[in-house]
Amino acid sequence: MQEHRRRPNLTVYLAKSFYKAKQQSRLLAFSVSVSNLSDADDSIAKIELQINYTTSDGMCMALRIPGDAKLVHEFGFKESPALIPPIRIDSHQTVAGWVFFELKEALLDDRRLESYVLLFQDTHGAVSKLEQAIIQGLVDETAKSNN
């Protein structure tokens, strides 16, 4: 029982998700918290976004794109930091922050997007997933009113 509690066990919670259109790209931001439920310390080694889509031939595909913390400037979020691996999470502790991704429109083109899945890989290679089908669009109202 004690051994079982020391197994890696990261749980991801999604607070908010936004997307913003940029020229030829879709910028995605997710506000997440990752909790380490294990009795052992752990780390997040890799953060990726898996995009599940269907080709025009009906073939289901999964594309993985790496996180890009530099995109924080595109969204201007200041209240919490961007998560940049490696991130240490001590036993029974939680880290929170934003993760950002840039999805080039050319990657999807006429393909049908099915869902987004956030992937958090820990030091031991264990992957915690969180699926999100709908993401809220973000419009720059300031830029609109200036025009």
Partner 1 sequence: MKLRRATIELRGPHEAIPVTIVADAAMATVGVGDGRLVPVLIVATSGRPDIEDFFRAHQYIPTGDHTAQWAHLDGHEGKISLVLKFVRPSELTIILEFDIVRQGGLVDQIIRARALYLQAGQPGDRLSTTLDQHRVIVEIGDLEFRNWNELLLKHLIADFRASGLSRQRSKQAAKELIEEWRRVTESRLGRPVPTSGTT
Binding site for partner 1 (CB under 8 A): 48, 55-57, 59-66, 104, 106-107, 111
Instruction: Kindly tell me which of 5 and 129 has the beta carbon lying closer to partner 1.
Output: 129
b/e map 78-88, b = 16+ CB within 10 Å: eeeebbebebe
What is the closest distance, in whole angstroms, from the C-beta atom of residue 36 to partner 1 in the complex? 25
Do 83 and 25 contact (CB within 8 A), yes or no? no
Residue 144 CB, nearest distance to partner 1 (Å)? 29
Closest CB 86 distance from partner 1, rounded Å:
17
Nearer to partner 1 (CB atom), residue 48 or residue 89: 48
Identity of the residue, 30 or 101, whose beta carbon is nearer to partner 1 in the bound complex: 101
- For the record, the structure tokens of 119 come out as 């992937």
- Start-to-end CA distance of the chain, whole Å, equals 63
Tokens 């599940």 label which residue?
Answer: 52
Nearer to partner 1, 66 or 81 (CB): 66
Find out whether 18 and 32 touch, Cβ atoms under 8 Å: no
